[in-house]
Amino acid sequence: MAKYIDMHPDNPQHRLIGQVVDLLKADGLIAYPTDSGYALGCRLGNKEGIDRIREIRNLGDEHHFTLMCRDFAQIGQFVHVNKAVFRQVKAATPGGYTFILPATKEVPRRLSHPRKKTVGVRIPDHVVTQALLAELGEPMLSSTLLLPGDEDPMTQGWEIKERLDHTVDAVIDAGECGATPTTVIDLSQDEPEILRQGTGDASLFQ
């Protein structure tokens, strides 16, 4: 049964943040709010957590997982960026974008795209997510909480608790999230490619 954690959306309780991070460090899997809807998250090295996310969402091997990062300094450990890309990403973050970039050797092989050797990275603009990442001290592996057969991600913590009670270890409820996913931009080639239009303004990369 999943632990249900009711967290203040603007001033998340440090004690509760600590509880969630302890769970993540113990290789737990959480459902948590972001600025573009709820997501599933686990520690980067949590192989079982990755497998659980794949099972919950029925994902294939070529799915791009996202590294949820606190700031640009964390991103630099896991992806290769040139000066032009650096300026573009810096100007657009934090916010509703996921960037596909070439992965460094710091990214476990099972997380990067098997053919392209790329990975998704993002810096969220959400108080609770930022508090979790600050306490964790490293990026969190993440995937949008969109279940097979659903057209839209879930936006309510209580609904997630009801539907995923026996498949995740904790649900963090910080109020209703928006249901619009991030804008996904592939910056791994010479020219940016808009893969999905979402919350972020794609015209910045056109």
Instruction: Please name which of 4, 13, 2 lies closest in space to residue 131, comparing C-alpha atoms.
Output: 13
CA angle 169, 170, 175 (to 5 degrees): 160
Summary mean pLDDT of the chain: 92
pLDDT 10s digits, 153-166: 888 999 999 999 99
Q: Which domains does the chain have, with CATH numbers?
A: 3-205 (3.90.870.10)
pLDDT of the residue at 24: 98
Q: What is the pTM of this model?
A: 0.93
Rounded to whole angstroms, the Cα distance separating 204 from 206 reads: 6
pLDDT tier at 111, thresholds 50, 70, 90: confident
Contact assessment for residue 101 and residue 188, using Cβ atoms and an 8 Å cutoff: yes
At residue 176, φ and ψ (nearest 5 deg) are -70, 140
31: β partners: 40, 171
Cα–Cα distance, 67 to 127 (Å, whole number): 17
For residue 34, give every residue at least 6 positions away whose Cβ sits within 8 Å of its Cβ, in sequence order, or none: 68, 124, 126, 129, 142, 177
The per-residue pLDDT for range 60-100, each reduced to its tens digit, is 877 878 999 999 888 888 999 999 898 999 999 999 999 99
